[in-house]
Structure 1
Amino acid sequence: MQSRREFLGTLGLSAAYLVLNGSLKGADRPARRPNIILCMADDQGWGEMGYYGHPALKTPVFDEMAANGLRFDRFYSGAPVCSPTRASVMTGRHPNRSGVFLWNYAIRPEEVTIAQLLKKAGYRTGHFGKWHLGPVKADSPVNPGKCGFDEYLSHDNFFELDPPLSRNGADPEIHKGESSEIIVAEAMKFIKKVREENKPFFVVVWFGSPHGPYRATEKDAAMYAGVDNENRRNRYAEITAMDRAMGQLRTGLRQSGLARNTLLWYCSDNGIPGQMRPTANLRGAKGNLYEGGIRVPAIIEWPAVVTRPRISTMPCVTSDIMPTVLNLLGIELPDRPIDGINLRPLIEGQMTTRPRPIGFWKYPHKTQQKNRPWMDPDRLKGTTPTANRDSIQFLNFHHPKPLTENFPGQAAWIDNRYKLVTDGKKIELFDIAADPLEKKNLAKDKSGTVAGMKAQLESWQASVEKSLAGQDY
């Protein structure tokens, strides 16, 4: 087991790894449209992987994926909390554009989702696991089915062992067992059925782990008997169980003859919660826009295309997923502002610098609380008990007139090596390439860089507020 010093040393060396050439050559191009699987952890921090030299965690499957595929060392969640990041995956847009400011804010029905577009293109679509973009029950206007999925077995929010899951909007049923293994098994059933139909598939597997309250199986928890804190012990055990489930998914794909032409994309929805011991010594945690809140692990496996292992240090974000997949399939982007970029050149080994910055914004959502909710109150109720409550309130507002002035709330603007962080009058500039721990504020020394990035950020925020006000629909 590595010491903490050795662990941090491993992280520091990762940026200096040799980036191998994995260009997409003609012979490597898939003959058929690829299958797409998007997997996402719930609250897994950037350093919580064995391949980053974590001193305790055991993640042999993720380690193998990182060793064989495309590993992203600067991948960001679209927001520092869960629901907004999920909205960014589904739309390719910053979540504030559709009013998904925080957890329990539902995505708007007017949004165009990646699932809808792939379904229209002939893909069979399935969602398995955490939804958290609105109620999953049948009459919800934003359940997974209404958002483009042919089939779904889903939960409104996080879940633990023996999860209660709704199949296609029906009353939830208890599924006995370890939750990550359950949703992967259900996803594989769907995949095998689609294979028999000889159609391509788009599958989303959103795990409930390792989100609190941390309930692992006794067998998994026993692997971490030497960890001093019970919550941390169970958290690590949940990550190992999720790792095992990913192994079952990969094995299922290989045995079905589907692995070679399936793009498998894994990431997390935000950084590590603050109450857990930081794993990479990054500044900040879940809920803020420093690296510890938004930098997450990410890997792509696609044996037909990513034929050699590579490590990317270019900044990427969950909003990039939809534009990338659509480009790979020759599907046009929706006619509205899209914040993500097409990463196909990166996947093909031809991109090392991001052509457009990434914007983040913790919108002051409480200023919108007095606006009229767009959804009928009866439909705001969740379908399954969460956090010891009988229901959850899923909030969103119908095209409110922005009430903010001077763009309050923490925001960030990442332009390759530089990252600007603003919060009211507070301004910070970091050289993430040289200072990943965000210890040295360069704002005074590089006032010209700050002025330029701040102007870009505020122009982007103005665009986001126009979207929030409904001008895209």
Structure 2
Amino acid sequence: MPSINTLLIRSRSRMVLVATAATFILGVIANAAGDEDVSSNAAAAANGRPNIVLVMTDDQGWGQTGYYNHPVLKTPYLDAMSENGLRMDRFYAGAPVCSPTRASVLTGRSNDRTGVQSHGYALRRQETTIASVLKDAGYVTGHFGKWHLNGLRGAGVPVLHTDNHHPGHFGFDQWVSVTNFFDRDPLMSRRGKFEQFTGDSSDVAMTEAIDFISRQSKANQPFFTVVWFGSPHSPWLADDEDLKPFASLDKDSRHHYGELVAMDRSIGTLRDSLRRLGIAENTLVWYCSDNGGLPKITPDTVGGLRGNKGSLYEGGLRVPAIVEWPATIQPRVTNYPACTMDIFPTLVDLLSLAPSVAPNPLDGVSLKPLFHEEIESREKPIPFRFSNKAALIDNDFKLLAENLDRSKFVLYDLNNDPTETTDVTAEHPQVAKRMQKSLVEWNESVKASVAGKDYPEGRVDPDHPEPRWWTEVEDYKPFFDQWQDRWEYARYFKTKRK
């Protein structure tokens, strides 16, 4: 693996569908209503608006791409995407774990504001999501894959139609989803109907997404498609063919990287399908990961950065990212600092929607200008708050508080010290003072959001659920006998069944 400094130097220069649905219903009955009537949406959509596809991997580290010269992993389809789009080498997840980052994507807000403090927390229904905004603007919306915003923990199970935090409640017309991470031959939910699928989970999710895209394309409907993979999150189970390049690695690492091979292949399937349908030119595809890479995987997952998933160091927050939109974006690499909280305001800006569609304070900024030309510096810092830790990235500088209660801050110069080894507070006292003031003030605003002050009611909905295991949900219990021998679920019945 090249050093982080080598990777950053390079970054400043220009450098099969296998799944078919075998449908059977396991007893959960979907809502009686049929598919959403989207004919009125067609009239509402303005001509020339791009189709939008958001793709997110699960636990893929910043260094785990072929275009960073990973020593064992090849990602030819991501490499091709990066050669044809805007490769963002300083892109950050909204948080160092999964559910919070997903909340930041949908809302443009830091995770704690939305009620999603950590993994397995539910997104408040009082939040405004980009899916709802785009649906109102005339887009047909679909979610495929991992959801993990309904307050359930444990390996992904099909989302119930009775779940009052399923994707449909947040603006998605169609969805084929699971509660959390999912692997080979997944059991998923099509708007509440359980279906058994065959094949690698990335191929399965992408197959469903492409079917949705194809239908909207043929109907001349603009679409907003979210594909959230379950890979390469543990547990790992890759196809034998996908394992072949990694024979020399330990078992976990071998399957981990095998899952990334399948994920990359599904990216290729998406790009090929958009071209086959004749809609690639005006389709914006935004790819990234949900948090930093995992420890104990060989080779290194974070490209030499400090920290891993769960940490506010760069290795826990910085993730690979590419935006491809052939009609608008000329291929290039940027080091402009950006984050998942920027997705919401960027899409709103691209569609010239009124700022009032986002009624609550946003933490992200629009990246629309960056799609056309390089921007020298970011005007609004990127904030993070997770597990009583906080950080603020202001262009080259990063302020980190390992414990907010103790108010002890460390300042890093990421331009000269990307691996965060040296506190430069003494060398830059005014920068440290300014950033500390900004971080403290921002944290106070988050406290108000946590208390529900952003909402018209001035409080959090009292029915908002607390995190829980799906083994504790009554509506899942009729399926326990069928599920206890499934490899991905068996461990939960040994320790958590109630």
TM-score exceeds 0.5 = yes
Letter in 2 for 1:242: M
2:151 is the alignment partner of 1:129 = no
Q: Secondary structure at the match of 1:260?
A: coil
CA offset digits 1:283-338 (Å, max 9, x no partner): 011001000000000001100001x3211101100000010011101122312100
- Asked whether the 8 Å contact 1:420–1:450 carries over to 2, the reply is yes
2:428 is the alignment partner of 1:428 = no
How many residues are treated as equivalent by the alignment? 411
CA distance in 2, matches of 1:10, 1:413: 25
2:404 is the alignment partner of 1:418 = no
Q: 1:16 aligns with which of 12, 16, 24?
A: 12
Q: How does 1:47-446 map to 2 (within 5 A)?
A: 47-134=63-150, 136-170=159-193, 172-226=194-248, 228-277=249-298, 278-279=300-301, 280-306=303-329, 308-333=330-355, 334-363=358-387, 409-424=388-403, 425=406, 426-446=408-428
CA distance in 1, matches of 2:428, 2:3: 32
Identity %: 48
- Partner in structure 2 of residue 24 of structure 1: none
* Aligned CA-pair RMSD: 1.5
CA distance in 2, matches of 1:446, 1:246: 43
Q: Secondary structure at the match of 1:223?
A: helix
- Asked whether the 8 Å contact 2:12–2:335 carries over to 1, the reply is no
Normalising by structure 1, what TM-score? Answer: 0.85
Q: Secondary structure at the match of 2:446?
A: helix
CA offset digits 1:436-460 (Å, max 9, x no partner): 1111111222222111101100100
Shift of 1:192: 1.1
Letter in 1 for 2:274: L
CA offset digits 1:198-242 (Å, max 9, x no partner): 11000000001000111100110112113x211111111111110
Describe the shift of the 1:58–1:124 C-alpha distance in structure 2 as closer, same or farther (beyond 3 A).
same
- Asked whether the 8 Å contact 2:3–2:304 carries over to 1, the reply is no
CA distance in 2, matches of 1:232, 1:451: 43
- Asked whether the 8 Å contact 1:411–1:422 carries over to 2, the reply is yes
- Partner in structure 1 of residue 493 of structure 2: none
CA distance in 2, matches of 1:66, 1:196: 28
**Structure 1, unpaired ranges of 5+:** 20-29, 364-408
Normalising by structure 2, what TM-score? Answer: 0.80
Structure 1 window deviating more from structure 2 (336-345 vs 139-148): it is 139-148
CA distance in 1, matches of 2:104, 2:215: 29
CA distance in 2, matches of 1:44, 1:65: 17
- Asked whether the 8 Å contact 1:180–1:209 carries over to 2, the reply is yes
Q: Secondary structure at the match of 1:471?
A: coil
CA distance in 1, matches of 2:131, 2:254: 36
- Asked whether the 8 Å contact 2:12–2:334 carries over to 1, the reply is no
Shift of 1:139: 2.0
Shift of 1:423: 1.9
- Asked whether the 8 Å contact 2:116–2:123 carries over to 1, the reply is yes
- Asked whether the 8 Å contact 1:7–1:52 carries over to 2, the reply is no
- Partner in structure 2 of residue 456 of structure 1: 438
Shift of 1:58: 0.9
Shift of 1:196: 2.1
- Partner in structure 2 of residue 389 of structure 1: none
- Asked whether the 8 Å contact 2:115–2:121 carries over to 1, the reply is yes
CA distance in 1, matches of 2:386, 2:121: 14
Letter in 2 for 1:411: A
